Amino acid sequence: MSLERINVTRSSMPSYEEYCEEIKDLWESRWLSNAGIKHKTFEAQLQEYLGVPYLTLFANGHVGLEVAIDAFKLEGEVITTPYTHCSTTHSIVRNGLTPVFCDVNDKDYTIDAAQIEKYITDKTCAIVATHVYGGVCDVKAIDEIAKKYNLKVIYDAAHAFGVTVDGKGVAAYGDASMFSCHATKVFHTIEGGITAFKDKDILDKTNKLINFGFIGPEEVAYVSTNARMNEYEAAMGICNLRHIDSEIARRKAAYDRYVQRLSGVPGIKLIAPQEGVKHNYSYFPVFFDGYKYDRDQVQALLAEGNIFARKYFYPLTSELACYKEQYGASVANTPVAKKAAECVLTLPMYADLTVEDVDRICDIILK
């Protein structure tokens, strides 16, 4: 008998009854989009949970980041990293900006703050950095650099919902932070995104940009897009927010078991906990460097056991077909990111993953 398939992730959901109860009144109102009651309720709950003054809901995380960058009306170069999802780089390029790729550090694989200044020129307008695997960038160092050079800081916080730094929500740092609410994330709205802002003027601008640029019933002031979250997605978010703390706690049980089984194994590197950071256990990345099997061999062995892990992030965005010709040469400047991309494997991680599942995975890797 074949063993049950274990995917790299599995969506958490409220009970069928809870979700049906939440959406029941939509049949009465027939208000399904354009900032209805679910949308407004969800926004208010998120502001409290995330500890932010302003935020906007989006149809997905990518458009949340792309529109946020647009709202700042930036021009020139943006310092970022290639060790991220292609969405990050696309959001920069689709706004007519030039990505300048800085390396990541070899501890948590976020942007190496110590290298940022060497890439700053008179064309630099912003830093777009990614919080990786639920770990957090050196937000304090980045803040100091941004103030010194008068740069905007926008975080791709797709992995960081519910994460805090020294007791403050991660979105308290930078000028804007985008959280993905895709179905595979720690917290989801089926599909969706959240972008938090510090500046109310930017919030107001963003709320016009998500609705084709309308500023009145018959007046369109901006060339923009349709990026609105619908009421059914907001209702799913309301339900899932009720359970987010237990979701993270269940993930932690699986995370701790992985650490117990895989720590101290020669050739296997794990990311150490960050001081002062409350994690959300969104991913479990393992770096196979000098192990008896390389990353691809481990992935294949797991697949033979009906277990599906993911090379995440691989390849670097600077090596993607759509960017390689223009930015491929920058790979020489990002050796840590390059090495990480070649040996990383994110193992299955989700709330329903049991300790027995983790043992099954680790047994294959170790034996």
- CATH code at 354? 3.90.1150.10
Six-digit token string for 322: 């759509």
How many C-beta neighbours within 10 Å does residue 175 have?
Answer: 20
Q: Is residue 3 part of a domain?
A: no
Q: What is the mean pLDDT of each run of 10 residues along the chain (367 residues)?
A: 87 97 96 94 97 96 97 97 98 98 98 98 98 98 98 98 97 97 97 97 94 91 94 98 98 98 98 97 98 98 98 98 96 98 98 97 97
Asked if residue 230 and residue 117 are part of one domain, the reply reads yes
State the Cα–Cα distance between residues 281 and 249, nearest whole angstrom: 9
Residue 2: what pLDDT?
66
- Where a domain ends, among 242, 266, 282? 242
Same domain as 173, residue 38: yes
Cα angle at 86 between 85 and 92, to 5 degrees? 115
pTM greater than the 0.75 cutoff: yes
Which two three-digit tokens encode residue 161? 């919902």
Helical (H) or strand (E) element with 361 = helix 355-366
What distances in angstroms separate CA 237 from CA 12, 42, 176, 195, 349, one per listed residue? 11, 7, 21, 14, 20
Per the domain annotation, does 340 fall within a domain? yes
| H and E: helices and strands count for the chain | 14, 15
Instruction: Write down the pLDDT at residue 71.
Output: 96
Residue 4, domain member (yes or no): no
Closest Cα partner for 280 from 125, 178, 158?
158
Rounded Cα distance, 321 and 143, in Å: 33
Looking at the structure, tell me whether residues 184 and 289 fall in a common domain: no
Angle, nearest 10°, between helix axes 37-50 and 231-242? 40
Domain that residue 132 falls in: 16-101+110-242
Q: How far apart are CA 100 and CA 93, in angstroms?
A: 11
Helices assigned H by DSSP within 72-136: 86-93, 113-116
**What are the backbone angles phi and psi of residue 73, rounded to the nearest 5°?**
50, 55
Contact 71, 205 (CB under 8 A): yes
Q: Do both 200 and 282 map to the same domain?
A: no
Q: How far apart (Å, rounded) are the C-alpha atoms in residues 288 and 103?
A: 20
213 and 230 fall within a common domain? yes
| pLDDT at position 3 | 86
Predicted pLDDT at 1: 45
